Amino acid sequence: MTCPEIYHLYLERKTKQEIHQAYHEVNITDHDEMNEGFTPLHLACHFADLGAILLLLERGADVNAKDNRGETPICTLGRCRLENADENDLEEAAKRLIAAGAKIHRSGQETTALIEAVRNRHFAMAEAIISSGVKINSANINGENVLHMACQEAWFISLDREKSANRLKRMRDEGWHPDIKITEAENELARFQEQETEVFRLVKSVLANGTIDPEEKSDAGKRPVDIAMERGITTISALLTGNDPEHDELAALSGGMDVFQALIYKNKTALEAILRMDTDLQRVYEDDQKTSFKGKSPLACALMSSDFMSAEMILKAGTDPNWRMPDEKNAFAVWASHNDASSSDDEQYLQILTLMLSRGWNPELSSDNRGNTALAIACLRAGYGPCNTAIRFLLDHGANPNATNNCGQTPLMLLCGGNYWDGYIPRIAALPRSYPYGWKQCGPEEIAAFELLLEAGASIANKDNWGNTILHYLAASSKRRELHQMTEILEEFGLPDIQAVNNEGLSALDVATAYKNDDMIKFLLQNI
């Protein structure tokens, strides 16, 4: 009798008596080169045949013999994928193999018996290995230990449970499935629910064992808790962060996350629980996990991510929308500067803006360290994200269209290509320099906002700190089509002094000439 012959006895569904008789006859050092180089003990473990395993142990089979993959029989046992495998038999087999000297930490070349047991949901077997006192802190080829694998498998179980629950609901709603099929679906769901409990208990056992560092990172740079949080397995992530999810409802729901982690992983259930804990919302993100969040408040992080549901939750939880972060920006300034694509989602923008206002937002306060109000910020970023919606909203709610920033610039100037300038002029004229105007070209969005501002009372006579009028800004930022439309609108409200010069002695005509803006030159010459 040989290993290949025994393998075919299993495939032919021979009786246990026939198969076990074959194990009595086979040489215990035989190998099946057609099946991974299995020894008889590997083969018995592959088919989770407890009787055969005990028989072979009595015959003195080598419990640490390796197959062609470099795996021992107990690792093969952990890999068992038979649907009808008896979990109690797997548990008992593992105990007997360990008692016979099976080593776990060297049970596989690229994995271990414990990791494979967890990956294949043989949790009773895994518990037996952990409680045996053997070394369990080995990792697989990806640097993942048993905690990493438990968190990953917990996620797969949750997906199976959700799919099973949906299937059962659909069958009940359809109303025509036979009772036996409904019962099968109920049993399937119950099995997945039990597996969720088992994997939770397993993580508790591993932590109680104390030989695995829960902060250990895989080759991908992830800790077990990172996987649990990312996948929304909050009961396990709560355990891994030192909480007691079995007795603390909020810990079970929040998963030990802070408000920023809930935002990063887009976990609304966790966020709601965290907000119920009276968490501090006037603080900034300081970790390195998500660099774009660095130095920003929870509200700012939610808004810049267009996570409006979370933003609403945070606002309703009592955050101060006027609060300025260490860089002196408030949440609106961050929102305006991080939405790089324009959107037509006016309704959502208006909902957030209205809620911010109802929660104490004062748009007339400075939104950044340059003295820009919310209207000024929106004009500066016109055409992006919520800014055009915000311009209309703010003007409708009485925003001052003539408020000036630290540079003396009005929202109208910022709309027409203005930006912060420190006033520095190199002593050598040939050196490169910057100006307060000419930072962008006006487009359709700017035209629409231009008219709104003028209708709301924006002054055309204002000058910035360096004596520039709105004409200086238009001269540096307007293309032909947009210029025609904007000058037509401007003429309806009256023109400022066309010949006015700034502190450098430059008129709007000089600026238009420097920027080779022929259409602006023509317009100015016609109106001198």
| C-alpha–C-alpha distance, residues 367 and 373, integer Å | 5
pTM for the whole thing? 0.89
**DSSP 8-state secondary structure symbol assigned to residue 288:** S
| 475: Cα separation from own chain's centroid | 44
**DSSP 8-state secondary structure symbol assigned to residue 38:** B
Comparing C-alpha atoms, which of 374, 351, 352 is closest to residue 363?
374
Cβ density class 10-22: b for 16+ within 10 Å, e for less: beeeeeeeebbeb
Cβ density class 204-238: b for 16+ within 10 Å, e for less: ebbeeeeebebebebeeebbbbbbbbbbbbbbbbb
Domains by residue range for the chain, with CATH: 3-131 (1.25.40.20), 146-254 (no CATH), 280-400 (1.25.40.20), 407-528 (1.25.40.20)
| Other beta carbons less than 10 A from residue 318's beta carbon | 12
- Flag the least confident range among 33-47, 180-194, 482-496: 482-496
Comparing C-alpha atoms, which of 445, 416, 410, 409 is closest to residue 515?
416
pLDDT of res. 343 = 54
Answer for the pair 196, 203: CB distance below 8 angstroms, yes or no: no
| 157: Cα separation from own chain's centroid | 21
pLDDT category at 22 given cuts 50, 70, 90 is very high
* pLDDT of 194 above 60: yes
* pLDDT of 339 above 70: no
pLDDT category at 340 given cuts 50, 70, 90 is low
Mean pLDDT across the stretch 154-165?
Answer: 98
pLDDT of res. 263 = 98
Render pLDDT for 102-154 as a digit per residue (tens, 0 to 9): 999 889 999 999 999 999 999 999 999 999 999 999 999 999 999 999 999 99
pLDDT category at 253 given cuts 50, 70, 90 is very high
pLDDT of res. 365 = 98
Instruction: State the distance between the two ends of the chain, measured CA to CA, in whole angstroms.
Output: 110
